[in-house]
Amino acid sequence: MVSEYPLDFVLSHRKYLTFIIGGGIGLALSLIVTYAFTTILQLWHMFSYVFGLAAAIIFTFAFHRQVTFNNKSKARDRLIKFVAVTLVLAGLNWLLVLFFTEGLLVFYVYAIFGVTFGISIINYYSNKHWVLSSDYSKTFKINHSYSVS
């Protein structure tokens, strides 16, 4: 149920909205790098996009760790998880952009926007519940205690 009051909606979805803002900044950074490498350096847009994704990955980890989830503990473990999730999603992102641009002939900037939005939902839940979870002790650990009756 959606609240009648916009402020209630914003407050109840604050963390996701912050995640989207950070992701939006990462997307802008990715687009700027991709566009610059494509137009100025005359590189193939998909090769340029690799550099754009790399810049966005570095920025978004720092932003989400510090701002969105405010979780500065276990930085090394979280970075490893973040990189693993991000590489999988970046690979999927790259392949989908390739499909839309080369297969369906969608302009690469539009393809990047659309694909990035779709993947952001998966990315948010991966970060919230696994990578940057505030309850690190309960994230995907197996309980080895058995009770014998």
**What would the pLDDT profile of 94-131 be if each residue is shown by its tens digit?**
999 999 999 999 999 999 889 988 898 888 888 888 88
- With 0-12 / 13-18 / 19 or more C-beta atoms within 10 angstroms meaning exposed / middle / buried, residue 14 is exposed
| H or E stretch at 37 | helix 14-39
Q: What is the pLDDT of residue 32?
A: 97
pLDDT band at 88 (very low <50, low <70, confident <90, very high): very high
Q: Specify the range with the lowest mean pLDDT, choosing from 41-45, 50-54, 78-82.
A: 78-82
